[in-house]
Structure 1
Amino acid sequence: MNCKAKYFSLVLLSSFILISCKKETVKSLPTTDSTSIITHALQSDSAVINPSDTLNDLVDKSVIGTQFLTKSSLAPRLKKLLGADYDQMVKYWNTETPFEKQENILHAWGCKQHDCSNYSYDLFIDVKNNKINVYKFEKSKLTIFKEDDFEIEIKDNFLKDLNVKKENVEVEG
């Protein structure tokens, strides 16, 4: 073999080895439908510096459609907050309203299909303070879960709706 052929073969072999050993840098992007949201930008602890931009994207989105209760970065916080009640909330969140926003508060409501009067949940997220409250209505009993004992101030239409729910299920004590 002549010198040019050896050189060409060496360059070709080196290029092949270099290309085959190179790390893959292009990753496939997930596809989403119009109700999906990618929440990986949220951090899983309550020390998020400014979550408002990502959380505000939830307005008018479905909790079920975004898989917010199970796949969002806030899901571990919800699980910690609710403890043993978390699985029930996920199971019974069948009928719902989309996220609404009033000032710095996001709200969504969900309940057990065909049994909303016995099992329903109101999820409130204070975007400014990055705290979560969940109001659980179960068989005429109201349980309020407050992240870090922080009580979100609920007012105006959210408060009216919450009071109507309390009246409708005849909350005890």
Structure 2
Amino acid sequence: MNKRTQHFFIVILSFSVLISCKKETIKDVPATDSTSVKIDALQSDSTIINPLDTLQNLVDKSVIGTHLLTKSSLAPRLKTLLGKDYDEMVKNWNTETPFTKEGDVLHASGCKQYDCTNYSYDLYIDSKANKINVYKFSASKLDVFTEDNFRIELKDSLLQELNTKKINANIPKAK
């Protein structure tokens, strides 16, 4: 075979390989991804009057992803509880931990990205008593917001974590 025939054969072979490896195009793209499907499901659940119905489902979910601070049935309660500090908490809740559960207490924390020492929040929800507490750490100061003056009793790892945060913020630890 001469060189010209070889080149022609290689071009035809390459062209047929390209045609056979045609890229599949997706014509119907879903409007949501798996994350937003979970969020939408939780949003609809969160409109239930009694938040106890959905609190148990929050474990391992994020506060931001569930829109708990802004669109859940707990949002108005948080706004009432925090007053003028509510908007600051929503704005600065950027870096977060997912919800954990210890006994009847759900916990999540969030802080301002790159500035956790000045804007840090711990959200505690007692699912049995249906009460909320928010601990706000800012500039070596701790403000505790308790719903109906009900102080959620923290034990074990929750108490240990709170005490560690207090030490890091130069605040006396809880007993």
Which of the five TM-score ranges fits, normalised by the shorter chain? 0.7 to 0.9
**For residue 65 of structure 2, what is the aligned residue in structure 1?**
65
> What is aligned with 2:86?
86
Q: Deviations over 1:131-156 (max 9, x none)?
A: 00000001110000000000100110
| 2:74 corresponding residue in structure 1 | 74
Q: How does 1:152-171 map to 2 (within 5 A)?
A: 152-171=152-171
Query: Residue type of the partner of 2:96?
Result: E
Which residue is equivalent to 1:121?
121
Rounded Cα–Cα distance in structure 1 between residues aligned with 2:132 and 2:60: 18
Task: List runs of 5+ in structure 2 lacking aligned partners.
Answer: 1-31
Q: Determine the C-alpha separation between the residues in 2 that align with 1:32 and 1:156.
A: 37
CA distance in 1, matches of 2:102, 2:33: 27
1:77 counterpart SS class: helix
Deviating above 3 A after TM superposition, structure 1's stretches of 4 or more consecutive aligned residues are 31-35, 39-42
Q: Is the 8 A contact 2:166 2:172 kept in 1?
A: no
- Hey, what does 1:40 align to over in structure 2? 46
Unpaired runs of at least 5, structure 1: 1-30
SS at match of 1:154: coil
Q: What do residues 34-68 of structure 1 show as CA deviations (whole Å, max 9, x unaligned)?
A: 3512243432xxxx4xx434100010001011111
1:128, distance to aligned residue in structure 2 (A): 0.3
Q: Match of 2:69, SS?
A: helix
Letter in 2 for 1:60: D
8 Å contact kept, 2:46–2:54: no
Identity %: 62
User: Match for residue 7 of structure 2?
Assistant: none
Counterpart amino acid of 1:145? F
Count the aligned residue pairs: 138
Aligned to 1:103: 103
User: AA paired with 1:143?
Assistant: D
Answer 1 or 2: higher relative contact order, Cα 8 Å, separation at least 6: 1
The one-character-per-residue Cα deviations of 1:65-98 (angstroms, maximum 9, x if unpaired) are 1111001010000000000000000000000000
Cα separation, 1, equivalents of 2:172 and 2:162: 15
Q: C-alpha separation between the residues in 2 aligned to 1:101 and 1:127?
A: 10
* Corresponding position of 2:141: 141
Taking the aligned partners of 1:40 and 1:32, their CA distance within structure 2 comes to 20
Q: State the match for 1:19 in structure 2.
A: none
Question: What is the aligned-residue RMSD (CA, Å)?
Answer: 1.9
Structure 2 counterpart SS, 1:145? strand
Contact 2:47–2:72 (CA under 8 A) maintained in structure 1: no
Once the two structures are TM-superposed, the CA of residue 33 in structure 1 deviates from its matched residue by 3.7
Q: SS where residue 69 of structure 1 aligns?
A: coil
Please give the TM-score of this superposition, normalised by the length of structure 1. Answer: 0.75
Pairwise CA distance, 1:117: 1.0
| 2:88 partner SS | helix
